[in-house]
């Protein structure tokens, strides 16, 4: 047996072919690698395609239906490099009028859930733990008591982070000791407030628990 070496791409069928291509190009700063009347392939990195669309054409009823809740994919998740990138992405998307439907401090990740024009959900996240630490956390009592996490205010996070103030209490769940710290500071704001910047929300060594 061999496991897959990576996750490669996701393909959506849509009645909003043009709108979806435009939205994903903008949100992911993606490039269209191929496009015809039936298919479009987009990529945002060195993979040949990360997201593709099958054009279902106009909806028969006129109005294109949105994804209905129920059986099937709930969301697809993408990881950003660090908190600075996630905050900057939040601010960039906000300038398009695109806001997260749900912002959640999961504990092992900090996550913003967005919906595309068809209603497909995606999670934009940063990792807050290394693999071993995340594994311990997911097997522990706090996760058993609350496997989802807590909501947070991304606007408050962005504002405070940009001011160079610590944001540990917004990044971590209130039941995590890290939430009481003052370590996560925007690096370029670190000279104005608090201790020197560390971590900045990026992946931490699993030995740092």
Query: 39 or 77: whose CB is closer to Fe ion?
Result: 77
Please tell me the total number of residues recorded for the chain in this structure.
Answer: 209
Query: The tokens 């047996």 sit on which residue?
Result: 1
Interface positions with Fe ion (CB under 5 A): 77, 123
Residue 192 CB, nearest approach to Fe ion (Å): 34
Residue 165 CB, nearest approach to Fe ion (Å): 28
DSSP state of 178: G
Residue 7 CB, nearest approach to Fe ion (Å): 13
DSSP E strand boundaries for the chain: 10-14, 31-35, 39-43, 51-55, 75-79, 102-105, 109-115, 121-127, 150-151
Query: 123 or 169: whose CB is closer to Fe ion?
Result: 123
DSSP-based three-state secondary structure for 205: coil
Rg (CA), the chain: 19
Query: 130 or 187: whose CB is closer to Fe ion?
Result: 130
Residue 5 CB, nearest approach to Fe ion (Å): 21
Query: 12 or 17: whose CB is closer to Fe ion?
Result: 12
């Amino acid at each position: 047996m061999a496991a897959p070496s990576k996750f490669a791409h996701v393909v959506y069928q849509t009645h909003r072919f043009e709108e979806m291509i435009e939205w994903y190009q903008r949100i992911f700063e993606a490039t269209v690698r191929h496009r015809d009347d039936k298919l479009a392939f987009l990529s945002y990195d060195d993979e040949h395609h990360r997201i593709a669309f099958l054009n279902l054409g106009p909806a028969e009823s006129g109005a294109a239906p949105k994804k209905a809740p129920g059986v099937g994919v709930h969301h697809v998740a993408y990881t950003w490099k660090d908190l600075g990138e996630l905050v900057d992405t939040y601010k960039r998307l906000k300038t398009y009028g695109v806001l997260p439907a749900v912002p959640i401090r999961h504990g092992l990740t900090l996550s913003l859930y967005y919906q595309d024009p068809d209603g497909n959900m995606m999670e934009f996240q940063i990792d807050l733990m290394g693999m071993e630490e995340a594994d311990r956390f997911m097997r522990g009592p706090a996760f058993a008591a609350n496997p989802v996490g807590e909501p947070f205010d991304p606007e408050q996070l962005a504002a405070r982070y940009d001011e160079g103030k610590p944001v540990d209490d917004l990044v971590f769940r209130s039941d995590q000791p890290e939430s009481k710290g003052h370590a996560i500071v925007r690096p370029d704001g670190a000279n104005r407030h608090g201790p020197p910047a560390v971590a900045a929300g990026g992946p931490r060594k699993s030995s740092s628990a």
